[in-house]
Amino acid sequence: MTLHLHDSAAGAVREFAPLVPGQVGIYVCGATPQGSPHLGHVRAQVVFDVLRRWLVRSGYEVTLVRNVTDIDDKILAKAAEAGTEWWAHAYRFEREFSAAYAALGVLPPTVEPRATGHVPEMVELIQRLVERGHAYAAADGSGDVYFDVRSWPAYGELTHQRLDDMEPAADADPRGKRDPRDFALWKGAKPGEPATASWATPWGRGRPGWHLECSAMAGRYLGPRFDVHGGGLDLRFPHHENEQAQSRAAGDGFANFWLHNHFVTMSGEKMSKSLGNVLGVPHLLETHRAVVLRYYLVSGHYRTHLEHSENSLVEAEAAYSRLEGLLRRAAERLGGLAAGEVPAAFAAAMDDDLATPTALAVLHETARAGNSALAAGDEAALRTAAGQLRAGLDVLGLDPFAEPWASQTTGSDAARTALDVLVRARLEDRATARATKDFATADAVRDSLKSAGIVIEDTPTGARWALEGEQ
């Protein structure tokens, strides 16, 4: 089977074929850094990071562009509230987003363009639209420039909507518009706004409309036509519909596939700053390992919502510890461990529209096979299973021996060595007690270790220990 992806524009799963053999260009809508990142924001980036890793593993060269919308009405409003410069506000939270992505093992994009650095590309795109009769300067002299939806019969094609059924675009004063559904490409500067928040254009000073930014940046780095455009489900309309309309109306083919991730939800509702039901990433990292948060995000299919609960993170910790535990024991037994090929069933699941829940189930099967091989002393089978497990986890960004996780465990490795010395001493006491048939003492040792979360397994070569959930 080859890779198949659900294309939201087609409303169906389609076979994926890159426009240029061997190369894939992906554009993912990044953050509007008006506040701190929450778990939902990170889910979106983890989803496209997994797609990228799977494409790379499948032999493609991937260019991934993720923008930062560093100028926006909400940023201006929040900065004014906080009494800071908008650009300082945006950059502060941009850094928080970068830190959250890095903490969860999201690989840096190939390039991360900021909207404010691409005004010339935006002006050029508007000019093309004006020349082709698809954009016009507002009649009220506000300096706004609008996309003329009636001039583009394909408007609505991405989300399968008819123009007549659509609501007015609420992004600017409707008085300057030819049609209330026309959306702003460019927003004229208003009195009282900071001078630094506007740029000179043929239509006067102003700042970019949100949709225009993404079209301009995608075009700059990926060209007029590219393979995949991604983002959260909430961006399908109006953001992505408008991106596609303006790029195609300007003569660009734009995205070949549209992928949309579903939400992290709480009580069934999208985790969202405006609803106030957010869990900040730094806050979650105080009580959960980053790799476990990532395991949890990957454990759901990207097209289904992921209802957050504390219990699901506890389950993720137990499930990931099982996989990690086998890898650590295998590395210990084999004196190191190389990644191998992913299991065939894992590849089939990933090719089936990134079916990560199935892919993870395959990895748990692989770990079980590894555990049996370990117990049976079959090193060849153990090497194969553990190598496959590492390869699969690497695709999901969860390989404990790869960065960023490998260096994070250095400290705990030292702690683990110390623990090993202490536990082994207790195991020797137990062995001595058993040898003298003092079973009461032997059992007391076992019980006291158990109450500390340490389980003992008696093997033909002596007793071994593991942390609960790891065995």
Cis geometry, peptide bond prior to residue 180 (ω within 30 degrees of 0): no
Does 234 interact with ligand ATP (rule: CB under 6 A)? yes
Nearer to Zn ion, 29 or 149 (CB): 29
Candidate ranges 40-48, 179-187, 197-205, 293-301; the one touching ligand ATP (CB under 6 A): 40-48
Q: From the list 32, 142, 198, 388, which residue makes contact with ligand ATP (rule: CB under 6 A)?
A: 32
Number of residues that bind ligand ATP (CB under 6 A): 19
Among Zn ion, ligand ATP, none, the one that 272 touches (CB under a kind-dependent 5 to 8 A) is: ligand ATP
Q: Which stretch binds ligand ATP (CB under 6 A): 37-45, 55-63, 342-350, 403-411?
A: 37-45
Least Å from the CB of residue 250 to Zn ion: 16
Residues in the chain: 471
Residue at shortest CB range from ligand ATP: 232
Contacts of 105 (CB under 8 A, 6+ apart): 49, 290, 291, 294, 397, 398, 403, 404, 405
The nearer residue to ligand ATP, 48 or 346, going by C-beta atoms, is 48
- What lies within 8 Å, CB to CB, of 334 at 6+ separation is 379, 382, 383, 386
> Contact, 77 vs 123, CB < 8 A?
no
Q: Say how far apart CA 151 and CA 134 lie, in whole Å.
A: 6
185 touches Zn ion by CB under 5 A: no
Beta strands in 287-390 (DSSP E): 306-307
Q: Are strands 269-270 and 264-266 parallel, antiparallel or unpaired?
A: antiparallel
For ligand ATP, the binding residue among 3, 27, 43, 181 (CB under 6 A) is 43
The site partner of 238 among Zn ion, ligand ATP, none (C-beta below 5 to 8 Å per kind) is: none
CA atoms of 437 and 431, how far apart (whole Å) = 10
Is the Cβ of residue 51 or residue 350 nearer to Zn ion in the bound state?
A: 51
Per CB under 5 A, which of residues 25..44 are in contact with Zn ion?
Answer: 29
Selected binder of ligand ATP within 18, 105, 232, 397 (CB under 6 A): 232
Give the annotated binding-site residues for ATP. Answer: 273
Q: What percentage of the chain's residues is helix, strand, coil (to nearest 5)? A: 50, 15, 35
CA 377 to chain centroid: 39
Residues at the contact surface with ligand ATP, assessed by CB under 6 A? 29, 31-32, 40-41, 43-44, 231-232, 234-235, 261, 263-264, 270-274
Residue ranges that bind Zn ion, judged by CB under 5 A: 29, 214
